[in-house]
Chain A
Amino acid sequence: MNRALILAGTVALALGLWQALVVLASLPPFILPGPARVAETLWSSRALIAEHGLITAAEVLIGLALGAVLGGASAIGLAASPVARRLIRPMMVFSQAIPVFALAPILTLWLGYGLASKIAMALLIIYFPVTSAFFDALMRTPQPLLDLGRVMGTTPARLMWHIRVPAALPGLASGLRLAAVYAPIGAIIGEWVGASKGLGYLMLLANGRAKIDLMFAALIVLAVFTLLLHRAVDAGCRRWLDSRST
């Protein structure tokens, strides 16, 4: 109850400041519309925003799922094999020096204007944080647990499955929490570069036609979606970590 009140207060304050800025600087609606006007557009264009929002949500969720699977598998592969670590890790770090933004046009060229290029963007942007967080955790298995496994006569594969992976799941979870915030960025960049659907496309379109209220409405929907996604992933990870059974 208290938290809800504080949240409501924060939102009210932000909206108040926004409206005050519009009134005091007497900004025209095509530069910065007030919150009331944006809310009105959000309601009147709800069908349009929902249509494009669902596309973006699909891109983000598929990218997130693929990123979790690929990142998780890569981290385990790297942790299991010193050869893979030596060969592939420098490559992965180097790949992070390339701005993902710069790759967007190429991905669009290769994968087309549909969902695939946006999913690939989302995947690219989250792959490294997920892999890196999980890999670091896999390399930090508590020494006593490793000793225990060795004395008990385990194999590297079973040690990985029964001890190293479960001990590193909190690391994977923190990678996924980051990914939930990054994945929408990837999808939006993909849509900016070339798309006919999605919130990023809608924002660009609205901007070009000086429908700044629609642009803001789409932006707010995107931000709320990202927040909710982060909360959902966070809650999901928590429950998952708590319920790991024997």
Chain B
Amino acid sequence: MCAAPALLIDGTARIGVERLFGPLRLEIEGGRITCLLGPSGVGKTTLLRLVAGLDEVTRFEGRISASDGLPLAGRIALMAQGADLLPWRDVLGNVALGARLRGQSPDLPRARAIIDRMGLGPHARKRPHTLSGGQRQRVALARTLMEDRPIVLLDEPFSALDAGTRAQMQDLAAAHLAGRTVWMVTHDPGEAARMGHAIHILSEAGLETVAPPPGPVPRAVDDPDTLAVQGSLLARLRDLGTGA
């Protein structure tokens, strides 16, 4: 993996003639974790899908580019809500899916090593439906790591997990995604405060940047600075939610 580039998003998104959001300008720092918060329906996921090249309905006027000037296609891994595992493939098959989808033969020893690192070694031959929610999410993370892309987009990846499992997954993701350009859409101010090297809030009014707590990520769940930022983020989201 070469040095992870920064992402630059600059422009306006429209569906038909209706403006969805923007004009906005957002720079996502290379090799860091950037979190995007905001009320539901404001277009966070649309923005992420535009970067991933998945949105065919929304028109984006402007540019979405990498700081090294190379195209984004083929350099992005996506980890979405609810793990999206193939129910008919076992853990190993799911982790090694990318290569098969590109018509290559998968590097199974590497897949097994990543599965072991995720603590899923004993489950390698199990189907997703026999795993717990946290284990399934770890399979999705293993699949994302297997892709080994410099840019990783996370769309509310842990929103379906219970609080304890979510905190574990945040630790695991922060540790293993370190050095990549990670952009994470989340609903959870606590998650943004723990994980973000940079934090943004997207709302009808536009994009705001919020100063993250000090210290390396993932920050401790009970760190006072982190909790303070979590509190102020929540207050801001509440105000945006009521249209204040």
CB within 8 Å of B: which residues of A?
A: 142, 144-145, 147-155, 158-159, 162-163, 166-167, 169, 241, 244-246
Contact = CB atoms under 8 A, between A and B. Distances in A.
B76 A154 contact: no
B86 A166 contact: yes
A162 B98 CA distance: 10
Interface in B21-66: 49, 52-54
Contacts of B93: 246
Contact of A166 (B49, B52, B88, B103): B88
Nearest to A150: B54
A150 B74 CA distance: 10
A144 B80 contact: yes
A142 B97 CA distance: 16
Given A166-B86, A246-B92, A151 B102 contact: no
B90 A147 contact: no
A144 B52 contact: no
B82 A159 contact: no
Interface of B: 49, 52-54, 73-74, 76-78, 80-82, 84, 86, 88-90, 92-93, 97-98, 100-103, 147
Contacts of B147: 152
Contacts of B92: 246
B142 to A, nearest CB: 14
A150 B82 CA distance: 18
Contact of A151 (B52, B86, B89): B52
Contact of B97 (A144, A147, A155, A162): A162
Given A244-B88, A246-B89, A246-B90, A149 B80 contact: no
A152 B101 contact: yes
Contacts of B101: 149, 152-154, 158-159, 162-163
A158 B84 contact: no
Contact of B84 (A145, A162, A169): A145
B78 A155 contact: no
Contact of A153 (B86, B89, B102): B102
Given A158-B101, A159-B101, A246-B92, A150 B86 contact: no
B102 A147 contact: no
Contacts of B53: 150-151
A82 to B, nearest CB: 14
A246 B127 CA distance: 10
A167 B88 CA distance: 8
Contacts of B97: 148, 152, 162
Nearest to A155: B103
A147 to B, nearest CB: 5
Contacts of B54: 147, 150-151
B82 A153 contact: no
B179 to A, nearest CB: 20
6 contacts: A144-B82, A151-B76, A153-B102, A241-B88, A246-B89, A246-B93
Given A144-B81, A166-B88, 16 more contacts: A144-B80, A145-B84, A147-B54, A147-B78, A148-B78, A148-B84, A148-B97, A151-B54, A151-B76, A151-B77, A152-B97, A152-B147, A159-B101, A166-B86, A241-B88, A245-B90
